[in-house]
Amino acid sequence: MTSDTQTKLRRNKATWRKATARNHCRNGSGFTLIEVVVALAIVVVSFMALYGVILQMVASITLMQEKTLASWVAFDQITELRIKGTPPTDRKSNGIKEMGGITWLYSVEIRPTESESIRQVIVTVAPENEPDRTLGLVSGVIMSDAPLQFPGSPPTPGSNAPPIVSGASPVGGATQ
């Protein structure tokens, strides 16, 4: 082959390569860099939104678990009062209880009702590390044959019992 023919072939190969490269991009069989970056940005934003939703779900589940445990602590305190059979003589008492790996602070308040044999019991429960964050509030009633009398209050009319001067130990035997 002559050098002219070889030169023409080289030019044709180079032209053919350029034409093939241009056609390859025009056929849409590949992605440009901008398309890839935009697709990655969309994926990243989607994953960030999904991560936020998952964090919110975990926080909600944790809160519901804590509220459930707090209500169990409160119901336990009312049940203990009912089992004892004798009404507490303190209007308010506090205590500490461990449940579900959490230490809980509870407060029991006894209120009179229109009936002398029925008392309203209100129990509030908060985690020990966050005492101002009340997670449980349960109200119940306890029955008693004895007339209602709190420390320092005068005896009930018609009752021979002397007035109660000192309070009893806190509910559940916990320290105040």
pLDDT in tens, 59-91: 999 999 999 999 999 999 999 988 887 767 778
Locate all alpha helices (DSSP H) within 85-137, ordered by sequence. Answer: none
Could you give the 3-state DSSP secondary structure of residue 94? Answer: strand
Confidence (pLDDT) at 117? 82
pTM (whole model) above 0.75? no
Identity of the residue numbered 134: T
CATH 3.40.640.10 is the classification of domain 29-150: no
Residue 70 exposure: Cα atoms within 13 Å on the Cβ side: 23
Decide if 119 contacts 146 (C-beta within 8 A). Answer: no
Confidence (pLDDT) at 43: 97
| Residue 95, H or E segment | strand 92-99
Q: What is the pLDDT averaged over residues 47-62?
A: 96
Bridge partners of 126? 105
pLDDT confidence bin for 174, thresholds 50/70/90: very low
Please report the pLDDT score of residue 176 as a whole number.
Answer: 33
Residue 134 contacts residue 123 (beta carbons within 8 Å):
no
Query: How far is residue 172 from each of residues 64, 82, 101, 176, measured CA to CA in Å?
Result: 25, 12, 19, 11
Residue ranges covered by each domain of the chain: 29-150
C-beta separation of 106 from 128 below 8 A: no
